[in-house]
Amino acid sequence: MKKEKVVFSFRLNEEEQKSFDQFNDRADFIFGEWNKLTKHEIEDASVIIGNLPLEKLEMVKDLKWLQLNSAGTEPYSNSGVLADDVILTNSTGAYGQAVSEHGFAMLFSLMKKLHLYRDNQNIGKWESEGRVVTLRNKTVLVLGLGDIGEHFAELVRPFGCKIIGINSSGKKNDKADEVYSLAELDEILPNADIIFSSLPENSETIGLFNGERFKLMKSSSFLINVGRGSVVVTDALCDAVENGEIAGAGIDVLEIEPLPSNHRLWDIKNIIITPHISGYFHLAETKRRILDIVRYNLEAYLNGGKLKNTVIR
């Protein structure tokens, strides 16, 4: 029986590599990194594990299954990128803890003005920045009740917050007190103190937070975006914070990445920016969960079973 050739396109340490020894009788492995893998190493692979750049993915002659190490699937799920018979799976379920905690940290920093005190520390300035606000008993709007949104809801629940969820269908979810569809967003926005978005990019979400929607929000509200940068119109966000239409924002994802060094967003006092780092492997637990998904799916694939996190294209 011919073995499957499985190529990893992200780095695994020795212990992580050994965790795949159980498959050695059915698969040959190459453990590499995307920027170091050669055409010779990947062209005859049947399985690619990781987000191999498209220009290298095109070198693979007979790909059968692509397992992404990300939850997001663009551009791999775009029409024409993969042959119709190629299985595509993602790592949904691995990022909830890391991304939600990052968003929560951003929110608390904004509410307690820790970002301003850090700025003061950098210039040796000893001065009060005035009143702060509490998370206690706030209304939290969670856009996207998937793995990340549910984790965030769990983080704010102990503060007595009312949690309102938004998903594509309005289907009930036990992590939220109320759930509405995305079509009902404009009715809900004026009631929210905190808006947390982990929405994916699609035709319904691109440009969702524009100038008109910022005007619907409370002037005391905070926006946290850890989903896709295209959901928030950057210039509209800048205007909203500078004009006092909202109190501030924590942004890990942007329409344009990397953000140009001369962009006005950098200089707005009540916006915290991080360079799309809430996920990936910055939290060790995330990588462990990804590899759990990979091992489960590899076992299923080799046995002709059903893979989890299969993406419908």
Answer whether residue 297 shows pLDDT above 90.
Answer: yes
Using only C-alpha atoms, the chain has a radius of gyration, in whole angstroms, of 22
In tens, the pLDDT along 106-131 reads 999 999 999 999 999 999 999 999 99
Total domains, the chain: 2
pLDDT of residue 205: 96
Backbone φ and ψ for 4, nearest 5 degrees, come out as: -80, 140
**Does some domain include residue 311?**
no
pLDDT of residue 168: 81
Read off the pLDDT band of 291 (50, 70, 90). Answer: very high
Cross-strand partners of 88 = 66
106 in the same domain as 66: no
DSSP codes joined into one string, 54-71: HHHHTT-SS--EEE-SSS
Q: How far is CA 146 from CA 96, 99, 168, in A?
A: 8, 12, 11
117 in the same domain as 261: yes
In tens, the pLDDT along 185-242 reads 999 999 999 999 999 999 999 999 999 999 999 999 999 999 999 999 999 999 999 9
Residues 30, 34, 35: CA angle, nearest 5 degrees: 120
Beta-carbon contacts of 259 under 8 Å, excluding residues fewer than 6 positions away, are 265, 266, 273, 275
Produce one character per residue of 89-124: b if its CB has 16 or more CB atoms within 10 Å, e if not. Answer: bbbbbbbbbbbbbbbbbbbebbbebbbbbeeeeeee
134 in the same domain as 12: no
259 in the same domain as 145: yes
202 in the same domain as 55: no
**Does some domain include residue 178?**
yes
Measured between alpha carbons, how far is 64 from 47 in angstroms, rounded to an integer? 6
Mean pLDDT of the chain: 97
Measured between alpha carbons, how far is 172 from 174 in angstroms, rounded to an integer? 7
What's the whole-model pTM score?
Answer: 0.93
**Does some domain include residue 218?**
yes
Read off the pLDDT band of 1 (50, 70, 90). Answer: confident
In tens, the pLDDT along 159-192 reads 999 999 998 878 899 999 999 999 999 999 999 9
Write down how long the chain is. Answer: 313
235 in the same domain as 178: yes
148 in the same domain as 257: yes
Which residue range(s) make up the domain with 258? Answer: 96-273
107 in the same domain as 26: no
E-state strands within 177-270: 178-181, 194-197, 222-225, 248-251
Measured between alpha carbons, how far is 175 from 158 in angstroms, rounded to an integer? 12
CATH number at residue 45: 3.40.50.720
**Does some domain include residue 35?**
yes
